[in-house]
A and B are shown apart, each in its own frame.
Chain A
Amino acid sequence: MLKVNLFSERQILERIKANDRGVLSELYNKYQRLIFSHVIRNGGSEKDAEDILQEAVITLWQKVTMGNFELNVKISTYLLAIVKNKWLAQLRKMKKNKIQNLEESLVDENPTSLDILVDNEKIQIVRDALNLIAPICKRLLLLFYFEGRSMTDIANILEFANADVAKAKKYQCKNSLEEVLKNRLSEFKGIN
């Protein structure tokens, strides 16, 4: 807890870039009171606040790791902005669900984001496939596709010689994953 009080906001960003995962809980604890207060004041429960803050911390993490991210405001302000948006979206969703339940309307069949494009069954198949390839490959693929890290960052984190090695490794890992998915998903059948 003492650490939380000592590190500056700049250090937080540096630690995220360096893949120091301990920052996650430190961020959560540091801004817990602020975020909880906001969510609860706006009709949310403590459980809602917990969930929203966790999502916000992860979003901040992802934004920082993707590079080209300049924090022009305080982290607290940034997190609060994320939380406000997420909470508003959730309130709309809850309201929508309520109306949908009442009117028994059809579920929206037009997802717009990439996340929604993949159904849970396929996600589970990919998750299983990830556990069948080399652990380093799983880490590399997540660092690249989820965290959006550069090859230089990946090379540093995974202790590869350089970005080119990381890039070559990434193709190798992706091919390994596709190979496993060939037998599990129809979309991957017949690929060379």
Chain B
Amino acid sequence: MSCSYHKDSDIYEKYLLGQLSEDQKSEFEKHLEGCQNCQEQIQRHQIIIGSLQQIGRAELKAELQKQLKELDDDKVVFNWGMILKAAAVLLFFVLTPGIIYYYQEIMPRQEPKISEIMSIQPEEEVTVDEDLSNGTKAGGQLAKPQLEGRSNEEFKTDDKISLGRGDLPSVTSPKKGKEATGSFYQEIPAERQKAASRKELTEAEAELDRIQGADIASGVERKLREEQSDMEIFPYEKNLQTASPASIAKTEEVLGETGALSRRSSLDTPVWQFSSANQIITVRPVQSKDVYRTDNILPDSFAVNILRQDSTQIDMEWLVPQQMLELNPELIQMGIMNKNQLNVFIDSQLLFRMDLYRDSTYAKQIFSQPK
């Protein structure tokens, strides 16, 4: 059989690709049955065209997958960018307050601390009896000569600032243009003083806000409950007879021998006694020679001499300003915690704290509730 399609190679691919008309297709298929050569050609074209279609599809799919992978990689890069941005923002919000805190809170404290100023100054400037007959020292008295000349108004402001600390009242003094006797004040930059004042004021106001609205007594009681839930309370005992007058007299006599009696106004110094179930605290307030401010506000601190201390009684001497001598002792309440820390509440307004493990110490105002 002669092959009329031998020279027309297009016929094979047109047949396989479905590009022949029905008549052409039918005629070609009729020829194909008897043409070995055309069958071989069809077979070769099937391999080529079929393979190219498979290869073409696979390559296009590979190209699509490559594009998708590149897009994913871009997304990853984009996400990293977002993460970095988020990290930068986070860092900013963490660092900025940190830096502000450092410059406002930490840096000012690296200057001479106000509390240090206040606690060191008296020891340097005030002459205290070196020795008492019972071997105690009357050191650490927090007289504040640098406070002289300040108005009552200033003290009131200071008192507010120094709530719970009792050692910062003078911070605002130089700022107000008043005389400040301590050289520290001139060395502390005004901005630092301002920042310290602001901080303390903020703390104090926060403290005030916290307890504002409650009555004063309950405020103090709450403070007590918070800080000293296991404290043993010693209320004032007006007619306590257990205190031995002899022991007091003896103490006075001994003290007299040391010459320290000159610090007292008279032998009829008031004696306040406070008692709990097991122990009696005897307090003998003595007017101190140290200069205290002359307003009605009680001092931030005062010196204390522990004259006697055993399991049944504690006798002590308070070196206080005149106005404290006039205090009604019924307004005073004592509290002992851990056997070595004495708290003094006066008129439910002030909390003084002193250590009992030292013979010579001072009571420091640590809490004040305005009445």
Enumerate chain A residues within 8 angstroms of B54, measured Cβ to Cβ.
115, 118, 123
Q: Does B217 contact A (CB under 8 A)?
A: no
B39-69 interface (Cβ within 8 A of A): 40, 43-44, 46-57, 59-61, 63-65, 67-68
Label chain A's interface by main secondary structure: helix
* Minimum Cβ distance to chain B for residue A165 (Å): 17
Chain A residue with the shortest CB-CB distance to B74? A1
A125 to B48, CA, bound (A): 10
Which B residues touch A126, using CB under 8 A?
Answer: 47-48, 51-52, 55
Which one of A61, A146, A171 lies within 8 Å of B53 (CB-CB)?
A: A146
A134 to chain B, nearest CB (A): 15
Let me know if A54 and B53 touch, CB within 8 A. no
Q: Is the beta-carbon distance between B61 and A54 smaller than 8 angstroms?
A: yes
Q: What residue of chain A has the Cβ atom nearest to residue B69's Cβ? A: A25
Interface of B is mostly: helix
A142 touches B61 (CB 8 A): no
Chain B interface residue number, banded = 20 to 34
- Within 65-86 of B, Cβ neighbours of A (below 8 Å) are at 65, 67-68, 71
A 1-41 to B, binary, CB cutoff 8 A, 1 in contact else 0:
00000000000000000000110110011000000000000
Residues of B whose CB lies within 8 Å of any CB of A are: 9, 13, 16-17, 40, 43-44, 46-57, 59-61, 63-65, 67-68, 71
Chain A residues proximal to chain B, CB less than 8 Å = 21-22, 24-25, 28-29, 54-55, 57-58, 61-62, 114-115, 117-118, 122-123, 125-127, 130, 141-142, 145-148, 171, 174, 177-178, 181, 185, 187-188, 191
Closest 7 pairs (CB-CB, A-B): A146-B56, A126-B51, A118-B50, A25-B67, A145-B52, A24-B64, A142-B56
The 26 sampled A-B contact pairs (Cβ below 8 Å) are: A21-B63, A24-B63, A24-B64, A24-B67, A25-B67, A28-B68, A54-B61, A54-B65, A55-B61, A62-B57, A114-B50, A115-B50, A117-B46, A123-B54, A125-B51, A126-B51, A126-B55, A127-B55, A142-B55, A142-B59, A147-B56, A148-B17, A171-B9, A174-B48, A187-B47, A191-B44
